[in-house]
Amino acid sequence: MVMPLSVKTRNRIFAGALAVVGALGVAVGYVLSGYAKLETFKLLNIVGLFYDLLGILVLSEIVTKSAAVKYFFVEWVSGSLIWAQTVIPLGALIGTAVGYSLPSSGVVAKFFVSFFAYSVLVLGFIEATVFVPKLRGFQNLETRSHMFGLILLVTGVVIQLVAAFKDLNS
């Protein structure tokens, strides 16, 4: 089994990662605001594909064969996803505020606000079943790993279905 890091080390890693992810969010918001005709269904499709790919990696027995890799996905990747999916949209809103005069800043701001609102549900489910499981049935490492992969795959598919629906309506 993998030895857990000390609280001091985890806090340092968390603070550094939070700063990097926040800066990434600002950069993404600013860069996306500069596109002349940005369409939200394309952004949704990219996010959905990312979730699907991550879900396949988590569920793949080739990648997650050892308990150490499963532990990494359940403890580190799920926690990082929770924070990244919270901080990147907030950083992107700051980026759109900086580039408020750019052509797609309104579209980008609406996208990240709605994405943040939707992600609260998914993140709450990931936290309760994978990152900090509350129920006894979800405390097994194998179960947590499978739940994480399933949540990622279902979320990716739902996001891509929403993207397809938005594409049909535009």
Mean pLDDT highest for which of 97-106, 118-127, 148-157? 148-157
pLDDT band at 165 (very low <50, low <70, confident <90, very high): confident
State pLDDT tens for residues 116-129.
988 888 888 899 99
State pLDDT tens for residues 14-36.
788 889 999 999 999 999 999 98
DSSP secondary structure of 48-59: HHHHHHHHHHHH
103-114 burial code (b ≥16 CB/10 A, e <16): ebbebbbebbee
Query: Global pTM?
Result: 0.84
Residue 96 carries which DSSP code?
H
Two tokens, residue 81? 């996803």
